[in-house]
Structure 1
Amino acid sequence: MGTMANRVKSVNENRVESLSKGQLFGAIFGVVAGVIIFLLPLGLDKKANAVLALSAWLLIWLIFRPIDSGYTGLIFILFLTLLKFPPASIFTWFTISPGWFQISAFVIASTMVRSGLAKRFAYTLMYKLGANTVPRFLFISVVVVFLMILLVPSPTALIAITFPLAIFVAEAWNLPKRSEQKKGVPPLALVAFFLLILCGQAGTWVKTGFSLNLLTMALSRVDIEWLDWFVLAAPLVWAFGFLAVFLVLKVFKPSKNVTAPKEILKTKFDELGPLTNKEKGVLAVMLVVLILWITESSHGVSTGWVALGAMCVFALPKFGIFKNFDEAISSINWSVMFFITALSAMSTVLNSSGASVVIKNALNVIQPDTVTGYYVLSSLLGTFATSIFGINMMQGVFIPVFVEWSQVLGMSASHGLLAVWLPSVLGGSLIPVLLPSVLFAWTFKYKGERLFTFGDGFKITLVAYAAFYVVAIVSQMTYWNLF
């Protein structure tokens, strides 16, 4: 009898969930929108029209998720193959340094976690700086995340390290489940989504901190050296991080009763013990990697290939992190990688087919005629275009147009690119399904429930936008003039 009950339970657990009304609507809407766009007289050939139609379908399905985003990406890739696009344009992500940088980042992140170095780095800072309340946690998380990005070269990978820390703190605070709070944004949702935004922004403050930084430069034909990117971007992002904390606390006012006893933080800190040989080895390799990233202009080896080299070293069984190479490869989230591949292919084929001309012509209608107008317009469009069309569409289609505008106005290419790129990363958090890092963050749960919902994310992100625009638009017009 017990065996039969277990079988029934197993069948119920493995049963495919039916589509919600929203997912069903999105599935139908995506197909209908694609058909309508394909039939519109846009003055393009049928292949370009098909690319526009498929792109609309892809974005709508990624937003509503009637099926897993990885599967949606693979279907899109299949359609491009049937349209006879060359493999090099479809699988661009796997042929360039940024693609392998992202792939390697998953293994590097797993290495940091498995070795215990990430936990040591995070817990030491949290304990030493006394992050036992929500305000302190938010302030200190700015420091922790922005320092850890140097050792963990990917926002997605950084999320894999910091979100378990947030869950531990929630347990220490003995927070209720999300569903038990009827009004307002739950403290854990506030902490979790703020961490998510910080991870994305941290990935923009150094050239190598976000593989999409490198792809953005390649597609925009703008080359910025590691140190120049750091000097131009880092002060703005750090300022944004701290200002966002003030606004978040002011707007959401988390309860002062939510605290984590210092004794628990001390216990976790004491459990770390002295630095192990394994941790020393990982730290040594990452310091070498960091030096190679900083000196890229001298030796000419792209940052992605340096990250791939680190992945190969960490994957060696003798290094003591993974039992074999298969175990190292299993730490890569291939669903996310195919999701990114599809978005990358979308921007590539939009350009190669000529379909992007429609978007470019629409944008040129609102081209600004002053530098101030450029900073304001590029920040707004960078944010909300990313939210609607996705970060890869922003890179491959929108940003090159914006950079052309900046050059017409006499701005340097680096200033024109960063003015769009910095808010674009934040914009990917507004609709939490178009940025891979947000998609990945949704997999984390506390007491069987998601750390945050779409509604939580939307509210918190809008507050963060206010902080970013105060910093970005004002600072861009003053700080960057020093260079």
Structure 2
Amino acid sequence: MITDTPLWLTALVVGITILLWALARLPEYLTALLFFAAAMLLQIAPASSVFSGFASSAFWLVLSGFVLGTAIRKVGLAQRWSNWLVVPLSQSWPRMVMGTILLTWLLALVMPSNMGRIALLMPVVLALGERAGIRPGSRGSIGLALAVGFGTFQLSASILPANVPNLVLSGAAESAWHLHLQWLPWWLLHMPVVGLAKGLLLSACIIFLFRAQPQPVNQRENLAPLSASEWRLMGLLALTLLLWMTDSLHGISAAWIGLAAACLCLLPRIGFLSGDDFTHGVNIRTCIYIAGILGVAALVVDSGLGRLIANLLLSILPLHETPSFHNFVLLNALVSLLNFVLTANGVPAMVTPMAQELANASGFPLLGVIMLQVFAYATPLLPYQASPVVVAMGLGNVPAKAGLQLCVTLFVLSMLLLLPLDYGWFLLLGYGG
């Protein structure tokens, strides 16, 4: 715990950093570098806290994802896989968008890493778009990239092991309250709204905001037989996917599995990428941005600023002692506000240990308070609050303005349309008291 630094100074640095990211007036990586410089010059935290993002598994999953995605594109697997999908998905823009979002959810059932799923899907989906006449950099291409990013992060919140914030929540619930959250009850509670309804709403937003007219493809290309490089890369990806799927058995983090696979892709002679490929394929800007986001979240927790903000918000929230939709909305608002400073990965680590206090103040059961966080942290207002969305924007060359437009639109519509549905489903399943 940091005790020798004025908390107002930490709050000032964090607040300015978040404001710069929200306004997008400076490049996101530059804001992250300014945060690092300010935090160290003002000595508001030790380097181990400020630069903790570079030591996190998320950072290395991002870097590994860029390498794997570049290899998939270079050897031709992206074009080959997209060739199989282009006929059913290219018949209309709604079908292409909804098909892409469905792919993100189906892959989440078997692959636990958000970053890994984005790395695998992004080159395939963008190649699919090009095959259907959607030019890189066009509104349609941007929409497809956002479908991969938002679908991967937001819909996977309905599946317990498929999302980092879910795992943080599960671990915090077990350590703080000895609650062992299970796959099926989680899925039954969150799938109808956070999965199905959110998927339909996301599809509608992308179809409307990023309109495109794909050219229907009725026949697949006759591609050459698989090359030796393609066979080797498929073998490596299959092994990587298998190890990702079985991480609960062997205990090796998905980040280190991804890093090992990336290293194999870069090795001379047996790999697939040269030094120039690495330089052009890895978006260092996004990697620095991710490290900055994680560093801010760690600083907020380590300094005690997060706990102070949470207690302050709790003291001013007009909660009633009987459970109601009013209380449900206010608790979701609390989580959404904390999402601004903690980001999605940090919110459940802060809120879950406070769940009993929130339950006492609102009348909801302890488990209900713990579980209602999911909707809020899976619905960010700004892209930086969800690092997988940021990674997808980097991989898909999505302008910050486009990502912000979709994020804000989806947030507003989710709160207006889906939050009441979520409350009704909570009551139906007995989580509302």
In the alignment, which of 123, 134, 138 is matched to residue 97 of structure 2? 138
**2-structure distance, mates of 1:314, 1:322:** 6
- Structure 1 residues 339, 87: closer, same or farther in 2, change over 3 A? same
CA deviations over 1:208-259 (Å, ceiling 9, x no partner): 65556556667777699xx95587349845865553565577789869x975
Determine whether 1:290 maps to 2:250: no
In the alignment, which of 88, 109, 132 is matched to residue 48 of structure 2? 88
In the alignment, which of 404, 409, 427 is matched to residue 459 of structure 1? 409
CA deviations over 1:277-316 (Å, ceiling 9, x no partner): 4333333333333333333333222222222222222222
User: Where does residue 97 of structure 1 map in the other structure?
Assistant: 57
- Structure 1 residues 313, 346: closer, same or farther in 2, change over 3 A? same
Q: Alignment partner of 2:133: what SS?
A: helix
User: Where does residue 75 of structure 2 map in the other structure?
Assistant: 115
The Cα of 1:162 is off from its aligned counterpart by 5.7
- Answer yes or no: is the 8 Å Cα contact 2:355–2:366 preserved in 1: no
Q: Please, which moves more after superposition, 361-370 or 286-295?
A: 361-370
- Structure 1 residues 135, 66: closer, same or farther in 2, change over 3 A? closer
**2-structure distance, mates of 1:247, 1:105:** 27
Determine whether 1:431 maps to 2:382: yes
- Structure 1 residues 284, 203: closer, same or farther in 2, change over 3 A? farther
User: Where does residue 119 of structure 2 map in the other structure?
Assistant: 157
Determine whether 1:278 maps to 2:237: no
- Structure 1 residues 203, 176: closer, same or farther in 2, change over 3 A? closer
In the alignment, which of 218, 221, 232 is matched to residue 186 of structure 2? 232
TM-score normalized by the length of structure 1: 0.68
**1-structure distance, mates of 2:10, 2:298:** 10
- Answer yes or no: is the 8 Å Cα contact 1:92–1:345 preserved in 2: yes
Determine whether 1:358 maps to 2:289: no
- Structure 1 residues 441, 358: closer, same or farther in 2, change over 3 A? same
- Structure 1 residues 233, 290: closer, same or farther in 2, change over 3 A? farther
The Cα of 1:274 is off from its aligned counterpart by 4.0
Determine whether 1:199 maps to 2:152: yes
The Cα of 1:160 is off from its aligned counterpart by 3.8
CA deviations over 1:42-67 (Å, ceiling 9, x no partner): xx975221111111111111112332
The Cα of 1:116 is off from its aligned counterpart by 3.0
- Answer yes or no: is the 8 Å Cα contact 1:92–1:341 preserved in 2: yes
- Answer yes or no: is the 8 Å Cα contact 1:159–1:437 preserved in 2: no
- Structure 1 residues 281, 376: closer, same or farther in 2, change over 3 A? farther
- Answer yes or no: is the 8 Å Cα contact 1:59–1:389 preserved in 2: no
Aligned sequence identity (%): 17
The letter of the residue matching 1:232 is: W
Q: Please, which moves more after superposition, 293-302 or 459-468?
A: 459-468
Question: Aligned ranges for residues 249-328 of structure 1 at < 5 Å?
Answer: 260-263=214-217, 266=219, 269-324=220-275, 327-328=277-278
**1-structure distance, mates of 2:382, 2:77:** 33
Determine whether 1:331 maps to 2:284: no
The Cα of 1:478 is off from its aligned counterpart by 5.4
Determine whether 1:73 maps to 2:32: yes
- Structure 1 residues 205, 73: closer, same or farther in 2, change over 3 A? same
User: Where does residue 23 of structure 2 map in the other structure?
Assistant: 64
- Answer yes or no: is the 8 Å Cα contact 1:202–1:209 preserved in 2: no
- Structure 1 residues 348, 456: closer, same or farther in 2, change over 3 A? closer
- Structure 1 residues 97, 45: closer, same or farther in 2, change over 3 A? closer
- Structure 1 residues 206, 249: closer, same or farther in 2, change over 3 A? closer
The letter of the residue matching 1:348 is: A
Q: Alignment partner of 2:282: what SS?
A: coil
**1-structure distance, mates of 2:429, 2:5:** 47
The letter of the residue matching 1:92 is: S
**1-structure distance, mates of 2:65, 2:184:** 20
**1-structure distance, mates of 2:23, 2:85:** 39
TM-score normalized by the length of structure 2: 0.74
Question: Aligned ranges for residues 180-199 of structure 1 at < 5 Å?
Answer: 193-199=146-152
CA deviations over 1:345-399 (Å, ceiling 9, x no partner): 2222223223233212123334675777676555454446536874456356456
The letter of the residue matching 1:243 is: A
- Answer yes or no: is the 8 Å Cα contact 1:132–1:261 preserved in 2: yes
Q: Please, which moves more after superposition, 346-355 or 47-56?
A: 346-355
User: Where does residue 27 of structure 1 map in the other structure?
Assistant: none
**1-structure distance, mates of 2:72, 2:11:** 41
Question: Which segments of 5 or more consecutive residues in structure 1 lack a partner in the other structure?
Answer: 1-43, 179-186
The letter of the residue matching 2:313 is: L
Compute the RMSD of aligned alpha carbons.
4.6
- Answer yes or no: is the 8 Å Cα contact 2:100–2:125 preserved in 1: no
- Answer yes or no: is the 8 Å Cα contact 1:62–1:433 preserved in 2: yes
**1-structure distance, mates of 2:31, 2:340:** 18
Larger Rg: 1
**1-structure distance, mates of 2:242, 2:120:** 20
